[in-house]
Structure 1
Amino acid sequence: MTTVSLRSAEGKWIMVTTILASAMAFIDGTALNVVLPSLQRNLKASGADLFWVLNAYLLMLASLILIGGTLGDRLGRKKVFMIGIFIFILGSAACGLAGSATMLIIFRMIQGIGGALMIPGSLSLISSGINENERGKAIGTWSAITTLVTMGGPVLGGALADAGLWRYIFFINVPIGVMALLFLGWKVSESKEIDPQNGLDFPGAILIAFGLALLTFGFLRMPAEGLGDVKVYGSIIAGIILLVAFIVVEHKSSHPMLPLPLFANLTFSGANLLTFFLYAGLGVGMLFLSLNMVQVQGYSQLESGLTFLPFTVLMIGIARFAGSLADRHGPRLFLITGPCLAGAGLLLLSFVGETTGPGDYWTTFFPGIVVLGLGMSFTVAPLTATVMGAVSNHLSVTASGINNAITRIAGVFANAVFGSLAVLFFSTAVQKDMNAFPLEQQQKEAVVAQAVNLGNAQPPKQLDTAKQAAVLKVYHAGFVEAYGKIMRLSAALGFLGGLMALLFIRSSKTVIKDAA
């Protein structure tokens, strides 16, 4: 496909369609965080169920997204992009109709399959379709607008959840996806690179899918069963073995889904390490911030969504500008300071204790959200441009797929590990307070057992009203304590991301000419 100007009709339609499809996937993620309390109540889901609702989608996405990129090369980027959007629409509609947590988890897997075909297409169409000298600006525009729409997700999710319409978070994907399909069919040309020797790496996909699933299962079962349970340590060990086998298979494969020679380039490796740490910290931080606001601090779900508006405003004002500056001056400074600022924002948020409600927002959560927003605004566009610019054009789809896969893998690990840690921190805090509480031992055990539900923990019904109120205070204090520890760990991941840029990223012009 011949590259076109960003200002041309074709260039504008490429931007419109990629933004629509990306926004559909990203809204789903951010809005879902806000509606989780309603979802948990309506579907009677445990804390572990919530993490599986998040991870079922991420698991399929992480394991298949690289194959999605390869299919785009072979069959046509636009065609595979459209198939992915269609599957994602079907999965979204099914999620909206789910009657139980188990069914929702299954339908989220279908969404993940669609996303694995759809998400690599966005940046690969931009990379292969827009002139090289405008690509940074195009990616910055894509980053800014999709982030704007994405950060509108919490507001939309909060409004729908408060109205008892949380299912429409999934249904809204249907009209957006249909518009994207129509515009793609009519206005965007096909693009593909046919390599007869480039096969599909199904062994690699199977190994990484089962490896991630087993690791996730082991970590999510750890709070309930303990590390000494064979289902827990057995799953974790088996998951590690399968992931090691995946690396071996990729090393020996003639058509690997994860071309290991790409990682010989320090810029590419550093950018992906930065991606892993930053997005692991960001994803967990945003999730626990939403749960804390709604389940403990007394915010409505709409109010919780509105608290992220400063983040959105900063992304609108800064992200595209940061992308243009990175084009001219190089991304290194942005990729060092941005993640560190994001880490500082998460650290500030970790010190917020129990408040009296939304009236305290400006002196409690607001400063941390502003610093977090500044950090992400300076990071998103330069990071994406760095990943795409570190490889030659014919490897751009693969690079995009790897970076997206690492983002999702970061989410899987963070949700599993930090979800387990949160239950551990929460139950430890509750147990400590229960030791001096005037309850029978059986009642104390029932109180602590509710810790698996995190912020939705409910006092045992056999207690009288006064004791239930006292236990609820214990739950709130325990959750805030656990929240603070999780947020500080998330902040550390942000700082680690900045360290990766400091150590590995030297120039955006280092291109791998022949690795594949």
Structure 2
Amino acid sequence: MIGSINKISGSKLLVGIVLSILTYWLFAQSFLNIGPKIQETFGVSPEIVNISVSLTSFVTGVFMVVAGNVSDRFGKVKMTRIALILSIIGSLMLIVSGNVVLLLLGRVVQGFSAAIIMPATISIVNDFFDGDERQKSLSFWSIGAFGGTGLSSFFAGAMATFISWQSIFILSILLSLIALFLLKNLPESKRFDKQSSRFDYVGLTIFVIMIASISFVITQGYKLGWLSSPTLILSVIFVICIYAFYKVEKVKKIPFIDLKLFKNKSFVGAVVANCLLNTGVGVIALFNMYAQAGLAFSAFQAGLLTLPYLITLLLVVRLGEKSIKRFGAKRAMVIGPIVTAAGILLFSLTFFNTSIYVVVALTGAMFFGGGTGLFATPALSTAVSTTPAEKVGVASGIFKMGSTLGGAFGIAIMTSIFTGLTQSGQSVDAAASTGFIVGVCLVIGGVFTSACLIPTRKMKQVEKEQVAEVE
């Protein structure tokens, strides 16, 4: 709780946490917009650049739940410090030489760092803050994550253009060092379990194979072909692993993931709705493709058109937080995706001429960001507050893994629809419109998930009942 923090104020703790998560959402994610600069520096093929871009997110998604489980057992503060050191090492590997092997290894190390940081920092917030302070802290966590994502493309482009792409990661190292300093006197929040040494390595192995296979299908299936042999084989492996994981974990006394978590309707609803809302990342990717291919805008101009998304999101996040106390989480988790879907629908109106479409798109970006901001804190709060304290790390890992897989799925589906339709002879306008409408349908799925699974009662009532049920 906030009173138990020794020699560090709540505000310093929050700054340290936000700086920690920015190492992924702002800095590591900047690779999405500096591919050509990377290719020029390292003299490698576009395929290698594409691998380096996606590698960090892939590793993060695969190992996030694993890292959350380890944090629950061995200490969240300790794991956060380790993650920050890994972030520094990964950044150094990117900038100290022009060696492509170090480039790829650096991106892997950054992925491990992010996988640890996200569930560990959410757990720290849950352990050290109570009541309204916890909701406020989770809002700042969301601001760091969503704000970093929204700013990363513009930030990376500006840094790479006016200074150098390496300066991005020099700044990341400096902020990681500041975060380590701010967290240096933070006491360990973990209540150690005498049985924590009995780790479920079988469950861990099956889970990693399961998530790795589905992650590869989601991120690469549209390139290899959804009915290609590798895609089908990995899909079968995924299904087999689900069955094996259920059978193994069901009989374990200390399972890798306690399956009772999934009896918690609020937690499941938050995870699924969050996954579906995060498919909206594909909307940003598709909009950038359409703005450049269909409207003849530069990458910089396309990025400027999405800035209202970031600004509105940051303004609305605290509104979502405050709505929990007054109305409960469900209302914001239903209304938020509806507003987001309305924004995506405006993006789909590609039949307008360019000048009118720009106005419509700017309005759509505001709705898109506002809905996402309204949803962010209630969803995260629901996932954390309805989970027993000793399982918050793994629960946070599952929640954020849903974000990662949802974003990857959204990008894969929407961009493959756009590419496929344009290659089949459809106009760029029609192809983009179809992709956006698919995005609307995915986000509306989040509306129905929240409406059906999230209890209507206020969060404080839900917390007691859900925690008792899981325990």
TM-score category, normalised to shorter length:
0.7 to 0.9
The CA distance in 2 between the partners of 1:91 and 1:202, in whole Å, is: 26
Structure 2 unaligned blocks of 5 or more: none
1:269 aligns with 2:302: no
CA contact (8 A) 2:22 2:145 kept: yes
Give the deviation of 1:49 after TM superposition. 6.2
Aligned to 2:442: 493
Give the deviation of 1:401 after TM superposition. 2.0
Q: Deviations over 1:83-113 (max 9, x none)?
A: 0111122223334568588865543222111
Give the deviation of 1:133 after TM superposition. 4.1
Which residue type is aligned with residue 286 of structure 2?
F
Give the deviation of 1:389 after TM superposition. 1.6
Q: 1:241 to 1:485 in 2, by over 3 A?
A: farther
Give the deviation of 1:412 after TM superposition. 3.8
Instruction: Using the TM superposition, name which of 251-260 and 396-405 deviates more.
Output: 251-260
Give the deviation of 1:149 after TM superposition. 4.3
Q: Deviations over 1:126-181 (max 9, x none)?
A: 11001234211221233235544443323212213444834444443211111111
Aligned to 2:106: 107
The CA distance in 1 between the partners of 2:375 and 2:178, in whole Å, is: 30
1:334 aligns with 2:332: yes
Instruction: Using the TM superposition, name which of 480-489 and 265-274 deviates more.
Output: 480-489
> Any idea what SS the aligned residue of 2:9 has?
helix
Instruction: Using the TM superposition, name which of 486-495 and 407-416 deviates more.
Output: 407-416
1:191 aligns with 2:205: no
Aligned to 2:323: 325
CA contact (8 A) 2:283 2:344 kept: yes
1:408 aligns with 2:404: yes
Instruction: Using the TM superposition, name which of 220-229 and 165-174 deviates more.
Output: 220-229
The CA distance in 1 between the partners of 2:362 and 2:373, in whole Å, is: 16
Q: 1:38 to 1:250 in 2, by over 3 A?
A: farther
Give the deviation of 1:393 after TM superposition. 3.0
Aligned to 1:381: 377
Map 1:76-95; keep pairs closer than 5 Å: 76-95=75-94
Structure 1 unaligned blocks of 5 or more: 433-476
Q: 1:81 to 1:367 in 2, by over 3 A?
A: same
Give the deviation of 1:343 after TM superposition. 1.6
The CA distance in 1 between the partners of 2:34 and 2:281, in whole Å, is: 15
Give aligned pairs, total.
Answer: 462
Larger Rg: 1
CA contact (8 A) 2:21 2:114 kept: no
The CA distance in 1 between the partners of 2:385 and 2:80, in whole Å, is: 22
> Any idea what SS the aligned residue of 2:442 has?
helix
CA contact (8 A) 1:51 1:419 kept: no
TM-score normalised according to structure 2 size: 0.86
Aligned to 2:420: 424
Give the deviation of 1:486 after TM superposition. 2.5
Instruction: Using the TM superposition, name which of 252-261 and 114-123 deviates more.
Output: 252-261
The CA distance in 2 between the partners of 1:494 and 1:237, in whole Å, is: 27
2:451 counterpart (474, 483, 502): 502
The CA distance in 2 between the partners of 1:222 and 1:346, in whole Å, is: 24
The CA distance in 1 between the partners of 2:97 and 2:212, in whole Å, is: 22
* CA RMSD, Structure 1 to Structure 2 (Å): 3.2
> Any idea what SS the aligned residue of 1:188 has?
coil
Q: Deviations over 1:434-476 (max 9, x none)?
A: xxxxxxxxxxxxxxxxxxxxxxxxxxxxxxxxxxxxxxxxxxx
Aligned to 2:213: 214
The runs of at least 4 aligned residues of structure 1 exceeding 6 Å deviation read: 40-44, 48-51, 100-103
1:396 counterpart (392, 398, 414): 392
